[in-house]
Amino acid sequence: MMFKKILVANRGEIACRVFRTAKKMGIATVAVYSDADARSPHVLMADEAVRLGPAPAAESYLKAELILDAARITGADCIHPGYGFLSERESFARACAEAGIAFVGPPPNAIAAMGDKIESKKLAKAAGVNVVPGFLGEIADTDEAVKIASDIGYPVMMKASAGGGGKGMRLAWSEQDVREGFEATKREGLASFGDDRVFIEKFIESPRHIEIQVLGDQHGTIVYLNERECSVQRRHQKVVEEAPSPFVSPEMRRKMGEQAVALSRAVGYYSAGTVELIVSGADTSGEGFYFLEMNTRLQVEHPVTEEITGLDLVEQMIRVAAGEKLSFGQSDVRIDGWSIENRVYAEDPYRGFLPSIGRLVQYDPPAEVDAAEGRTRVDDGVLEGGEVSMFYDPMIAKLITWAPTREEAIDRQIAAIDEFVIDGPGNNLDFLSALMQHPRFRDGALTTGFIAEEYPDGFTGAPASPDLLKALAAVAAFAATAEADRARRIDGQLGKRLRPPSAWTVRIDGTDHQVDISTDGVVVDGDDLDLALEYTPGDHIVTAELGDEELTVRIARTRTGFRLTTRGASHVARTLPAHVAPYAQHLIEKIPPDLSKFLIAPMPGLLVRLDVKEGDAVQAGQPLAVVEAMKMENILRAEKAATVKSVEAKTGDSLAVDQVILELE
């Protein structure tokens, strides 16, 4: 029998996502929340809401007993855990069963079997699944680790058994690397996860991260819903996902899918789950794929699978939990077109991707589109005026596009990102657009090292073509004309009303462009430009028709012109009337202050440690302080040898971005 009321033991985007499907199915909804989320969209969206506790997850979303109490109070007959928090905790699934509340997910024994990286690899091997050559037993000491690594063949990866999120991993290219890193990996495992077991496996070169979505019911049917390519990662965190993969052939898909189903069957799996594989991009035979781990929950990137299969995975999970049979078989699973998802994060790509928090002063996602030629979908859990909190994951939204071909799906992403307005915390929209435009991404030549290899010195904005810069110069001149025209219309001015300038000198990215705006058209540097746009002073976005193309530009006033953001970069345009521009060369250049003598907080956060005091001599690279933000500790180091002149902050202080921590001399 179908459920009457569902409680989602989660927050933000995924809670909203589950509620949308539940409402469509006619199921009443219950939200739970911490003090930080009291006015969050997921709380407003639900029929009922129950407070759990203070903002830290350990005192709210991670407290199983509080969530079960909320289910009892509201009469919820099932709980969907979302992803993260308690979603892969066997004890929570068991507690739900003991309380007589259905857990919308797999059985507890399957969660337990797949939760231990060592045990899950043994199970996979027994089920006939390809596993990476490696040693899965307990390793006594460094000497034994060196022997094992030599037997497998370098390079090898040392991993903490209970690791996750990129923690407790070390790559070794030689015996010396093993000797230096084995004990450190053990210590990291113990400190982060309370488990110092380490396993060693072969490191796959040109690795691609490809995963198979599986779905099973409680009656023995298990199907695979094709694959997702998740190779574009930064520090082991996924950034871009797509389905299908540009690398996988139909034969390879079948082999991967059948092995994923065999593993699921071996642990008595039902509900939605994902078998993650590491795939050798250097192996074109289609045989070089190996089991990595199984995620016994709904994945963040599930929408791309939904877009190409036409299935609602949340609905399928609820129906399976209610005891229904799957209404389709393997032969009914289709691949229709191509879908891409970009994760929009609160982080500043221009400052080394440092986490960013704060109020969403403006939040205006692109319009959702559902048409035969393409679809645009935004899965989010935030509202304008809401806050990106330091207590939880920094993801703001997921931008999903679908189109008949991969190329068109990518182009839809670029257009949608240009329309996406976020003001307040730093965000990675420019970086995502740059990825979509990158020739290597468009060619599908992806590996997990893609971002590190293509942006070794960090991100400075997507490169702009000369034609794009000319078009932006024209947009800036057009906007400047409109602003000047409004200024001349203000009543009570002395003298006669002068017409706004039509000739402008626009300096953009260090180059001056001569722009003439007239009723006959737009001329840039002597060339006619086929450009049409409307701009009213105060507009945040302009859409220009540039020949046969559309160019969407986010526009903001500056003291001397405009900041124009489009196609993955922001460009500051200085606009001066052409008769005034020559005098600009006589302006005294303002030299920016030397900030190298200060240690500055790179992001808002908590100063958890100060390693130096006034008068201490420090060397380049020496740790000076540790700032905690977004659940991560960031070590701040000295850029050069110096002496600490003064300390301006103390341990325990909440720091604002760019706040001075100490001064060096």
pLDDT at 655 over 70: yes
Residue 283 is predicted with a pLDDT of: 81
pLDDT at 40 over 90: yes
Q: Determine what percent of the chain is predicted with pLDDT higher than 90.
A: 77
| Cβ-based neighbours of 55, under 8 Å, separated by 6 or more | 34, 35, 36, 389, 391
The token pair at 146 is: 């060196």
- Among 69-78, 131-140, 167-176, name the most confident range: 69-78
How far is 599 from 663, CA to CA, in rounded Å?
A: 6
CA angle, corner 346, sides to 475 and 566, nearest 5? 15
How far is 420 from 378, CA to CA, in rounded Å?
A: 10
Residue 385 is predicted with a pLDDT of: 95
560 three-state secondary structure: coil
Residue 196 is predicted with a pLDDT of: 83
In the chain, what is the straight-line distance between the N-terminal and C-terminal CA atoms, in Å?
73
| Cβ-based neighbours of 207, under 8 Å, separated by 6 or more | 231, 278, 279, 280, 281, 447, 448, 449
**If you ran DSSP here, which 8-state letter would residue 339 be given?**
E
pLDDT by residue (tens digit) across 88-98?
999 999 999 99
Mean pLDDT of 234-261: 96
Residue 140 is predicted with a pLDDT of: 82
Active-site option among 229, 293, 301, 341: 293
276-306: string of b/e by CB count within 10 Å (b at 16+)?
Answer: bbbbbbeeeebebbbbbbbbbbbbbbbbbbb
pLDDT by residue (tens digit) across 313-366?
999 999 999 999 999 999 999 999 999 999 999 999 998 898 888 899 999 999
Determine contact, residues 264/111, Cβ cutoff 8 Å. Answer: no
pLDDT at 374 over 80: yes
Confidence of residue 625 (pLDDT cuts 50, 70, 90): very high
The amino acid occupying position 302 is H
How far is 539 from 430, CA to CA, in rounded Å?
A: 20
Confidence of residue 82 (pLDDT cuts 50, 70, 90): very high
pLDDT by residue (tens digit) across 503-554?
999 999 999 999 999 988 999 999 999 999 999 999 999 999 998 999 999 9
pLDDT at 294 over 90: yes
CA proximity to 463, closest of 439, 488, 493: 439
Mean pLDDT of 272-299: 92
How far is 524 from 522, CA to CA, in rounded Å?
A: 7
Q: Would you call 293 a catalytic residue per the annotation?
A: yes
Residue 274 is predicted with a pLDDT of: 98
CA proximity to 170, closest of 187, 154, 186, 157: 157
Residue 227 is predicted with a pLDDT of: 98
Q: How much is the pTM?
A: 0.86
What residues does 338 pair with on adjacent strands? Answer: 403
525 three-state secondary structure: coil
Q: What's the whole-number average pLDDT of the chain?
A: 93
Residue 163 is predicted with a pLDDT of: 67
How far is 248 from 213, CA to CA, in rounded Å?
A: 14
Alpha helical stretches, state H, 361-465: 406-419, 429-437, 439-443, 450-454
Residue 164 is predicted with a pLDDT of: 62
pLDDT by residue (tens digit) across 556-609?
999 999 999 999 999 999 999 999 999 998 988 888 888 888 999 988 888 999
How far is 526 from 514, CA to CA, in rounded Å?
A: 8
Determine contact, residues 84/10, Cβ cutoff 8 Å. Answer: yes
Confidence of residue 251 (pLDDT cuts 50, 70, 90): very high
pLDDT by residue (tens digit) across 425-462?
999 999 999 999 999 999 999 999 999 999 999 999 99
Residue 576 is predicted with a pLDDT of: 97
pLDDT by residue (tens digit) across 152-206?
888 898 888 776 656 678 889 999 999 988 988 888 888 877 888 888 988 887 8
The token pair at 619 is: 């060397």
What residues does 280 pair with on adjacent strands? Answer: 207
How far is 254 from 226, CA to CA, in rounded Å?
A: 8
How far is 294 from 115, CA to CA, in rounded Å?
A: 8
pLDDT at 312 over 80: yes
